[in-house]
Amino acid sequence: MPDAATRPAMLRVAGLNAWYGESHVLHGVDLEVRDGEVVTLLGRNGAGKTTTMKSVMGIVGRRSGSIAFEGQETISWPSNRIARAGIAFCPEERGIFSSLDVHENLMLPPEVKPGGLSLERIFALFPNLRERLRSQGTKLSGGEQQMLAIARILRTGARLLLLDEPTEGLAPVIIQQIGETIRSLKREGFTILLVEQNFRFAATVADRHYVMEHGRVVDMIENDRLEASMDKLHDYLGV
């Protein structure tokens, strides 16, 4: 595989603005995710990270600017067309159906493209889910729900995964497992954009990091520069 820097952009966001009703939330977001990369969006609460993901997915009220996926402009596309192009979103609230069991939750999203992972490959990535196949959504731990939420979008055939704070509220040992999963997904060839508050975790999975403030990307840090950028990061994130 060519070096990341020379790979084509799978997702290119330029001058992206977004609104919820009258509220103008994104003010010209610029970022790029190359084929096969894991890239994070870091930033304080309210910086616009989730809204950026929802904009890529076409599920915010109004957007302007450019969101190109595999070279095609998607800014005017409805969300179902964006999903069929091969982008999947795993929301922070996970969206597991509590009255359905693990298998039913897994089978729920439609296949949008050929090339999705089979259940066997999904269980190889998430052995717990096989053991819990007939457990209802309500019976799962937070970590199992998060694994299920990620597993569910792997069946669809999407190649760009938007993961919104997958580690939130989880114990350190589960966070480690999520990290291993993300590294495996990268090895499988998935491209991942990840919202994270926890930059120590982000450093273990990502190639690059974008920092957002007040609805804009204000910095980009290569992962191997993260350690050297700690002072700056503490300022950005207020931690």
156 binds ligand ATP (CB under 6 A): no
Asked if residues 144 and 98 have their Cβ atoms less than 8 Å apart, the reply is no
Q: Which is nearer to ligand ATP, 18 or 140 (CB)?
A: 18
25 binds ligand ATP (CB under 6 A): yes
40 binds ligand ATP (CB under 6 A): no
Kind and range of the H or E run holding 42: strand 38-43
Instruction: Select the span of 1-9, 47-55, 107-115, 199-207 touching ligand ATP (CB under 6 A).
Output: 47-55
233 binds ligand ATP (CB under 6 A): no
Q: Which is nearer to ligand ATP, 18 or 158 (CB)?
A: 18
Residue 168: CB partners within 8 Å, gap ≥ 6? Answer: 92, 197
Please count the other Cβ atoms lying within 10 Å of the Cβ belonging to residue 112: 20
Q: Which is nearer to ligand ATP, 40 or 51 (CB)?
A: 51
Range 51-70, binding ligand ATP (CB under 6 A):
51
Instruction: Select the span of 38-46, 75-83, 135-143, 181-189 touching ligand ATP (CB under 6 A).
Output: 38-46
23 binds ligand ATP (CB under 6 A): yes
Among 33, 42, 48, 157, binds ligand ATP (CB under 6 A): 48
50 binds ligand ATP (CB under 6 A): yes
Residue 133: CB partners within 8 Å, gap ≥ 6? Answer: 101, 102, 103
Tell me the sheet residues that pair with 67: 13
Distances (CA, A) of 83 to 53, 63, 136: 13, 17, 27
Instruction: List the Cα angle 209/180/229 in 5-degree steps.
Output: 25
47 binds ligand ATP (CB under 6 A): yes
| Residues at the interface with ligand ATP (CB under 6 A) | 20, 23, 25, 43, 45-51
